[in-house]
């Protein structure tokens, strides 16, 4: 049994006996920290964790599972560097240094390591996570170096990880995290229509790795995650996709645009497949690297993912001075940055990278293995299915797909779309909820096609 499997939390839970429903749970900072850490997990990491834990019974997160599997199946020769594919499949957590301090850390990614050139003090080059590469001077990067602690990391040594060690909280069934006050408790009961304590039952529930993984899953798919995990009563969210209420987007002439050529079935307005250049493929693969909290931020707290939006809003509402470990943590959690080497020149969202940490006792120059050139080699054309499986472009394969679906050619047309920030956000949101991410993501803009090619 691993150390993580032995970890147990003790939750005091209040249940509505008649409805057999969890109303709220009282938790300490250790449990609250684990719950908040969900916001730091990249989307690809969440897919991988759920597949590894649940196996064949793993849930399908929209089109992200097929996007991840398609990336896994794509030959490494399509990427600019030999590490390009792997850093996408195993996206690093920019909060890894903090998550290692959690009582139970779900993220199985390796912590970032720093290796300096072994050529001596005259060479100051440093790379991350690779001790098998040679420096330009011909010497291996084989001297592991220790980075200095950031302000956030140093402050966390005072106790607790994201929240103060002495803090306690109430967590509602839909993952609202609020201060543990009697008045707040009464307000929750009043809001739920509870008038008599006889309707309530108090339980002390042990929660370990199994339950935390169930909670991660339920937070994405259910409006009642605590009830699902503690009483095993599932209430899945609707899968009807409505792309609306996205943040106001201001684009100018300098905003990046990508071209997508979509093969559409005219009778159903459904995308059968699409062709795109490497910049759009970079965009799709980069979705797997975005932390969950960043996704909620991009979509204006309107992801439609179970209790995720409530958890994000709870962090927004928490008193920084009283409950969070440092002043910098709230903004960092609400708008997580990408780790170093994860920004692509083809990025369309306004991501930023965590600054590379200084190294103890040295003035090192970091070598960027990605070089901001993007992940996928170009110029090149790729095929993308409606559920975001990426493969090399092939006219014969495209024709075979349409033929296999027994769709008459007269019912097929090609439309060309310009994909900017607004369209990218639509596709991101659809990818979270739908196995037809292109069809649902392009619906709001289908009337604004650039041109139709015959």
* Complete DSSP assignment for 268-310: TTEEEEEEEEHHHHHHHHHGGGSBHHHHHHHTTT----TTHHH
pTM of the model: 0.88
Q: Are 71 and 89 in contact (CB under 8 A)?
A: yes
Distance of CA 212 to the CA centre of its chain: 17
Q: Is the pLDDT of residue 71 over 90?
A: yes
Angle at which helix 29-37 crosses helix 308-317, to 10 degrees, equals 120
Question: Residue 57 pLDDT > 80, yes or no?
Answer: yes
Q: What whole-number distance in Å separates Cα of residue 146 and Cα of residue 359?
A: 6
What pLDDT does 387 receive?
97
* C-alpha–C-alpha distance, residues 176 and 146, integer Å: 38
Give the separation between CA 402 and CA 413, rounded to whole angstroms.
11
Query: How confident is the model over 363-373, as pLDDT tens digits?
Result: 555 555 554 56
Q: Please report the sign of the dihedral spanned by the C-alpha atoms of residue 371, residue 372, residue 374, residue 377.
A: negative
Question: CA 427, 240, 282 angle in degrees (round to 5)?
Answer: 15
Q: Let me know: does 439 contact 269? Beta carbons within 8 Å.
A: yes
Q: Is the pLDDT confidence value at 240 over 60?
A: no
Chain-centroid distance, C-alpha 49: 12
Per-residue pLDDT, 147: 64
On whether the CB atoms of residues 33 and 98 are closer than 8 A, the answer is no
CA atoms within 13 A on the CB side of 272: 24
Q: In what order do the strands lie in the sheet with 258-265?
A: 390-392, 381-385, 270-277, 258-265, 412-419, 451-453
pLDDT at 247 over 80: no
Which comes out higher in pLDDT, residue 338 or 298?
298
The residue-averaged pLDDT of 239-266 equals: 71
Q: What are the tokens at 441?
A: 């993501």
Distances (CA, A) of 377 to 43, 270, 338: 23, 29, 21
Higher pLDDT, 120 or 174: 174
Q: Which of 29-38, 231-240, 329-338, 414-423 has maximum average pLDDT?
A: 29-38
Residue with tokens 């019974």: 57
């Amino acid at each position: 049994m691993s150390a993580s499997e032995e970890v147990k939390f003790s939750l005091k839970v209040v249940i509505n006996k008649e409805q057999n429903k969890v109303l709220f749970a009282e938790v300490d900072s250790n449990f609250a920290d684990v719950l908040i850490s969900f916001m730091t997990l990249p989307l690809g990491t969440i897919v991988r964790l759920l597949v590894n834990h649940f196996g064949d019974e793993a849930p399908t997160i929209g089109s992200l599972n097929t996007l991840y599997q398609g990336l896994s199946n794509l030959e490494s020769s399509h990427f600019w560097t030999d590490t390009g594919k792997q850093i996408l499949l195993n996206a690093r957590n920019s909060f890894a240094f903090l998550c290692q301090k959690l009582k139970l850390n779900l993220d199985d990614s390796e912590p970032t390591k720093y290796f300096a050139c072994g050529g001596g003090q005259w060479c100051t080059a440093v790379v991350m996570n690779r001790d098998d590469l040679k420096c330009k001077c011909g010497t291996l990067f084989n001297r592991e170096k220790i980075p200095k602690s950031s302000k956030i990391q140093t402050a966390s040594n005072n106790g607790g990880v994201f929240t103060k060690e002495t803090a306690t909280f109430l967590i509602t069934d839909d993952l609202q995290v609020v201060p543990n006050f009697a008045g707040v408790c009464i307000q929750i009961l009043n809001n739920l229509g509870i008038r008599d304590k006889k309707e309530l039952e108090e339980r002390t529930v042990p929660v370990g790795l199994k339950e935390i993984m169930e909670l991660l899953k339920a937070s994405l798919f259910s409006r009642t995650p605590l009830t699902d995990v503690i009483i095993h009563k599932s209430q899945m969210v609707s899968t009807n996709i409505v792309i609306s209420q996205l943040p106001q987007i201001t684009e100018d002439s300098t905003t990046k645009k990508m071209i997508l050529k979509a093969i559409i079935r005219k009778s159903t307005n459904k995308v059968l497949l699409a062709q795109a250049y490497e910049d759009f493929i970079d965009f799709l693969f980069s979705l797997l690297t975005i932390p969950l909290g960043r996704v909620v931020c991009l979509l204006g707290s309107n992801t439609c993912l179970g209790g995720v939006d409530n958890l994000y809003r709870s962090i927004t509402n928490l008193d920084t001075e009283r409950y969070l470990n440092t002043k910098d943590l709230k903004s960092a959690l609400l708008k997580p940055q990408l780790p170093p080497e994860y920004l692509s020149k083809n990025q369309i969202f306004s991501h930023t990278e965590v600054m590379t940490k200084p190294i103890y006792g040295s003035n090192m120059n970091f070598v960027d293995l990605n070089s901001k050139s993007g992940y996928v080699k170009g110029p090149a054309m790729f095929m993308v299915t409606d559920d975001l499986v990426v493969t090399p472009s092939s006219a014969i394969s495209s024709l075979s797909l349409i033929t296999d679906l027994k769709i008459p050619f007269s019912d097929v047309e090609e439309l060309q779309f310009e994909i900017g920030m607004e369209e990218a956000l639509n596709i991101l949101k659809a990818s979270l909820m739908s196995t037809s991410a292109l069809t649902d993501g392009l619906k709001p803009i289908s009337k604004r096609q650039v041109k139709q090619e015959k």
